[in-house]
Amino acid sequence: MKRLLIILFLLSVNSYAVDTRQLSDPKQQESYEILTKELRCLVCQNQTIADSNAELAADLRRQVYEMLEQGKSREEIVQFMTDRYGDFVLYKPAFAGKTTLLWIAPVIFLLMGLITVFFFIRRKNASANSKAQAGSLQIDQDKQKKIRNLLEKGDAS
C-alpha cells in the first residue's frame, strides 16, 4: 500500500494538460515538449502552454505541432510566437534590447546588497573598535580614580 502511494505520488509530479499529440519523429517530439514548456499561456500568464487547459493554450499547442510537422525549426516557431505575442510569450526571454535590464537586474541588486553589507560591516567594526578603545580607557581611568580614593582613605575601619 505504502509503495503504491509512493508510486502514485511520483506519477502525479508530471501532470500536464491532456495532450495526446505524438509526432512520429522522436527529435520533433522532443522539440514539441521543450517548446510547449517554454511558451507562456497568455490567458493564465503563470502557466506554460503545456500546463494549461485554456483554449488558447490548446490552440497554441496545435500551432506548434503543425509547424513542427511542416518541418519548421524551433527558432522559427519561437519567432512566429514572438512576432504575434511579443517577448512576453517566452518564459525565457532573449537577452536583447528591452529585456537586458531584466537579465542584469538580479546581478545589479546582488552587487548593491554586497556593497551595502561590506560598508555596513566595516563601519560597525570601526565603531566597535573605537568604542572598545574608548571604553577600556574610560574604565581604566575610573578604576584608577577608585583605587586612588581607596588608597587615600586608607583602611578606615
Partner 1 sequence: MLKYIIPLVLFIIMAVFLALGLNLKPSEIPSPFINKPAPEFSAPNLNAPKEKLTPTDLKGQVWLFNVWASWCVSCRAEHPILNQLAQQNTVVIIGLNYKDKPVDAKNWLNTLGNPYNISIMDQDGRIGIDYGVYGVPETFVIDKKGLIRYKHTGPVSAEDVQQIFLPLIAKLQAES
Taking the alpha carbons of 134, 137, 143, 145 in that order, is the dihedral positive or negative?
negative
Q: Taking CB under 8 A as the rule, does residue 37 contact partner 1?
A: no
Question: Nine-digit cell at 85?
Answer: 505575442
Q: Diameter of the chain by CA atoms?
A: 110
Distance of alpha carbon 29 from alpha carbon 22, whole angstroms:
7
For partner 1, the closer CB: 126 or 150: 126
Q: Of the candidates 28, 63, 69, 93, which one interacts with partner 1 according to CB under 8 A?
A: 63
For partner 1, the closer CB: 110 or 147: 110
> Residue 48 forms beta bridges with which residues?
40
Taking contact as CB under 8 A, which single stretch among the options 5-13, 78-86, 117-125, 136-144 is the one that binds partner 1?
78-86
Least Cβ distance, residue 112 to partner 1 (angstroms): 11
Least Cβ distance, residue 89 to partner 1 (angstroms): 8
State residue 96 phi and psi, 5-degree precision.
Answer: -165, 150
Q: Of the candidates 45, 70, 149, 157, which one interacts with partner 1 according to CB under 8 A?
A: 45
Least Cβ distance, residue 5 to partner 1 (angstroms): 38
Return the ∠ at Cα 84 (arms to 32 and 53), rounded to 5°.
50
Q: Of the candidates 69, 82, 90, 93, which one interacts with partner 1 according to CB under 8 A?
A: 82
Burial of 39 (0-12, 13-18, 19+ CB in 10 A): buried
Q: Taking CB under 8 A as the rule, does residue 83 contact partner 1?
A: yes
Which residues here bind partner 1, judged by CB under 8 A? 42-43, 45, 55-56, 59-60, 63, 82-86, 88
